[in-house]
Structures are given as C-alpha cells and as structure tokens.
Amino acid sequence: MSVLPRRHRGASGASGPLLFVQGTAQVVLGEWVRVQEPGQPPRSGQVIDAGEELCVIQVLEDSLGLAPGRATVTLTGLPPQVPVGRELLGRVLSGSGQPRDGLPPPVGVALRPLQGGPLNPSRRRPPADHIETGISAIDGLNTLVRGQKLPVFAGPGLPALELAAQVVEQARAPHGEPFAVVFAALGITERQTATFLDRFEASGALSRSIVYLNRAADPTIERLLAPRVALAAAEHLAFEEGVHVLVVMADLTAYCEALREVGAAREEVPGRRGYPGYMYTDLASIFERAGILADRPGSLTQLPVLTMPDDDITHPIPDLTGYITEGQLVLSRELHQRGISPPIDVLPSLSRLMNAGIGPGHTVPEHRRWANQLYALYARGVEARAMSGIVGRGGLGEADARALDFAEAFETRFVGQAERRSLAETIEVGWQLLETLPREDLLRMDEATWRQREEGQRGESP
C-alpha cells in the first residue's frame, strides 16, 4: 500500500462504531485511519468499505460522543500494523495492543500487519508432534498437536475460561523446545481480568506469555481486533523466532457477537440467527493462520474457547467453528455439577490430528491402543449407567457392572485432577485403571502392548 495520507474535515454521518466519509478518492480497503476531534484524544479506525463517493470507517475506540461533523479524518494509506518481537513476552496489553501493565508502549523488532493470511498449502509441513497441556483428558485422549486448531465447546456457566487459564499456566513443549503462549481474552469481566493476571503472575506463566485483554467494558469493536493482534504477535514468534506458540482465545462467542453488532450497524442482510452470512469466512481467516512451515522450526497452534448458547452444539458459532477446525473438546455440565474438574466429556470430544502427534517415534509407542481401550470401556460404562437406571445395578451382567465401576473411577481419577500431570503420569493413571479389570474385558489390547507395559514396569523397578 503506497497511497499518501489524505485528510478530510468532517464526516457525513455516524452509526454506532461506524463513520461515513464522502469524496474519498483512492481509498484502500483495510487502510488505517486516525480520527481527531477538537479537545478529544485521537481515535483509530479502519476502512471496511471503500468507494470513491463514500467509504465506511470502523472506529476502534469508544465512539460515544463523537461529533462526525467536527472530526478530522486522516486516511493514512498504511495497513493496520502492530509491533512484534520477543520483548512483548511478559507484557499485558489491550485488545488493540496498548499497554495495560503500566509500562511504556511496546516497540518490538518489527511491525507486522494485523490481517496476516492463511499459510500457503505448498509450504505447510504435516504435524508430527504434540503440545503437553498437563490435562489428562487432553494429552491422553484428545492430544493437542502442533499446528492444530482445537476448540473448546462449553455451555453457559461451565468453567471454560478457567480451563483456558489452566492451559496457559501448564502448557509446554514436551522436549524442551522454545515455547510461548499468546492469550487473547475477549469480553471478560473485571473480576475475571484480575483473577487471570493474579494466576499468571503467581504461576510464573506471565514471563513466557503475551496477554491481550479485551474487557467487557472496552469498546465492542476492539473484540474484532484482539484475535488478529494476538495472531500477528504469535506469527512472528513462530515463523521468525522459531518458537512453538500456543494461542488461546477466550471467549470467541464474544467475538461473534461483536461481528453481529457491526453487521447490524451496517444494515447488512442477516444470516442464521442474525449473524452475518460471511461469519464462516471471517472465522476461517482467524483459524487458518495456525500451522507449521516446512522451512521454519517454530509452529503456531490454536486453542479457541467458545460458549454454546443454550448448550446448543448446532448453534451457528460452534457449528461453523467445527467445520473449520480439527476436532473439539466438549465440557460436560453433568461432570461439572458432580465437582469433577476439568469437566471434559471425552466421548463427544475429538482430536482429528491425534495420531500424527503420538505415532511411531514418540515417547509412548502403545498410546493409541491404550487410548482406544479407555474409550471403549468408558463408553460401555456410560451405557451401563443408563441401563442401571432402568433395571438397577443388580440387573446388569458382570462385565457391564465392572464397566460401570470403571466409568466412575475413570471420571474421578483420570478426568478429574487437582494438579498438572505429565504425559507419562497420565499414561500411568490410565494403566492403573485398566489393570483393575480382567484381561478378557480389555479387547482392544494385543499381546505386544502387554509386553511393552511389562517391560516398562521392569525398567522402572530398582
């Protein structure tokens, strides 16, 4: 973009966060705008609809009280950019990249465009390793693989944000490679903001993280900016600095609500449930920035968290997200009510890239069969629980009764956990549960897997 700055005195009108300017020759879609009103601090904006007769500018700060006729609008001719670099690690910034930690604005080593872009398919490297979150239901059964986008689906009132904070604190690259977390909080409350920052500082996670906070009281439009600001910082760390980066975004539902609000202000024809018809494309422009480059050592992995309105997994937000991403982690209201934390329901959860991250050459060669056996027994136990509600426990067969006991133990000892577990500890907890059952119940295990288990136990003994 090489257009020179152009200044316009007075706008023709405004509608919510949108400003309308006439006579805008050579305007460029997406260019950065400065809006200055006498006696007021300058506001930033971005061109979202370009035309020679009229352009629409999305004001990114609070537009309350803005008088369009008195404003000076400067079209800078520059794309929206943010500073990036390792020096941002440990910083707490707003959704637009402004300081929230009392320190000076970050300078960085470069300026990177916000919009980024999906990785060139010809340069993508297939995923081949995982990120260890310290959560057994994820690491053991729904492994988060480097370069993957694996969303968390939760209903209202479930601890999705707490799970996101736990992942930020505990996640790491299992082989000691450079690792960082970029956390984008979207539309969170002041209490949640204070809780997150206290937790990150106390655990030491802040030193290897960049935190972008968009609070509920902040301008709604900033929520559309925050994920892209976070991803611009993450892309630099991953593809220029060679760091394995995990981007956690919570709550993406707040982002989609902001998208709907802007669409209404622009008087767009709504799609499903009032959301813009382009929401799928918009979400894809965020999710498809994850991946691994063939000639670079780093990786960018995404763990977006979203709330399903009314626990409806067919709602447009989780529905479209599921189409774009590679699986999902689903939180269970029943497990949460029983005090099991984190309440991850492993049966509807899925990581489509799991086999790529746990295959041959990894730490636990029998991981796939072990996981399949846990899934099979737990599914049988859940079915036995439903049947026992009809016929009573006494009406169950011996194998079904054992599966029912296994399901109870699995939920409390494997899914529920009070502290971080390494992958080896997760595997061991699962084996301890499996070994409470006779071998005739373990139909997914072959003799080679049992030999590996026995050899591993002998190797650990003094």
- Integer-rounded Cα radius of gyration of the chain: 25
Tally of domains within the chain: 3
**Which CATH number fits the domain that encloses residue 53?**
2.40.10.170
Could you tell me if 92 and 214 lie in one domain?
yes
Could you tell me if 10 and 107 lie in one domain?
no
Could you tell me if 293 and 407 lie in one domain?
no
Q: Does residue 360 form part of some domain?
A: no
Give the three-state DSSP class for 44: strand
Could you tell me if 133 and 274 lie in one domain?
yes
Please identify every stretch of the chain with a pLDDT value under 50, giving residue numbers as ranges: 461-462
Could you tell me if 285 and 384 lie in one domain?
no
Q: Does residue 359 form part of some domain?
A: no
**Parent domain of 308:** 82-351
Q: 179-188 and 244-250 as β-strands: parallel, antiparallel, unpaired?
A: parallel
pTM (predicted TM-score) = 0.90
Look up tokens 């990036």; give the residue.
84
Q: Does residue 110 form part of some domain?
A: yes
Residue 365: the pLDDT is 61
Could you tell me if 187 and 279 lie in one domain?
yes
Q: Which of 351, 384, 402 is the last residue of a domain?
A: 351
Residue 456: the pLDDT is 72
Could you tell me if 320 and 430 lie in one domain?
no
Rounded to 10 degrees, the C-alpha dihedral 414/419/422/423 comes to 20
Q: Does residue 375 form part of some domain?
A: yes
Q: Which of 79, 109, 134 is the last residue of a domain?
A: 79
Q: Does residue 443 form part of some domain?
A: yes
Q: Are 216 and 185 in contact (CB under 8 A)?
A: no
CA angle, 234 as apex, 231 and 235 as ends, to 5°? 85
Q: Which of 79, 109, 127 is the last residue of a domain?
A: 79
